[in-house]
Structure 1
Amino acid sequence: MEVKARRDKIQALKQNQVLLKTNKEFQMYNLEIAKIEGEIESYESRQIAAMDDVIPVKHRVAEAQAKLQEDQTVVDGYAAELDERLAVVQNELAATEAERAEAVKKVTPQFILYYERLRTKRWPVVVSIGADCVCNGCHLVQPPSVGQMVRRNQGIVACQMCGRILFMKQ
């Protein structure tokens, strides 16, 4: 587009050159024409260089698209694997929730209320007590009577400091 406009300008200058009266004006027109021809030459050389660059760029685009396809298949495979694992975990969760619902039916409501209240505040809710009567939740020494109650399994025994439910490891 620019080259055509420049060529038209050269044609106009050459037509006006015929009407010139002095040699100095003629030389000025020749310099202007030479300058415009140099610009045309530079535009054409840049256009040729750009066309030479198009072929490698197309090749790189094709390579990038192939790599994208490979990566997309890897990502899709990974996403499918994650979906499968999620389905397995959700099934395990449903089974565990059903098992928990069955276990809750066997426990007294008073204990369930205590457990649920404690579950929102402390984790883990149930901790072991060491042989030296130390709560493994808060790491404080319990009175000997608490240790005896846990050893004899006399109902629900809670830590007197943190309130967690205590049990003795076998």
Structure 2
Amino acid sequence: MQTELNKVIAALRDFYANETFLFEKDVGERAITHRFAVHLEKQFAGWSVDCNYDRLGERTLHLPHGSIISTDDHLGKSIYPDVAVHQREIPNNLLTVEIRKASNHTPLEHDRHKLRALTDVHVWFPYWIGVLLVLDRHHVTMSEVYVSATLDEAQSRWFASRLAGVGLAAP
């Protein structure tokens, strides 16, 4: 797992080195997410890296209605991952990343709930790892790692420490 998380860190380094314009112009989260995915794709040879991917193999992803998350994207409650590292045809889901700008003041609980659902081994083809990143113009202000539908506190501490160690987060 730490190998994959180190690849996320490498992608963040490239992202921050090359995408300052996005924060200077205060673009939306979807544009930031896309540009991060471009850098993440370089780290995961042999895997597909997609934004807002809504399929499970040949099937369209659908979840029960009436929950905090849904497949009704126009409601802004989509379960679709911001960034997915996966194999489209199988499906084989390795990593999902939820990205938020630090200036986004909506509660984090939606993204946390989404990551718990996306990594839940009892619901569908889960992602092995889920990562929540809150980004500001200079560094990651908050990060969490999810495994098996729960916040993995040990991996979250390790990941935050590594981010701080390479200058991508406050110590």
TM-score range relative to shorter protein: under 0.3
Q: Decide which structure has greater helix share.
A: 1
TM-score when normalising by structure 1: 0.22
TM-score when normalising by structure 2: 0.22
* Bigger RCO (CA 8 Å, 6+ sep): 2
Which of the pair has more CA radius of gyration?
1
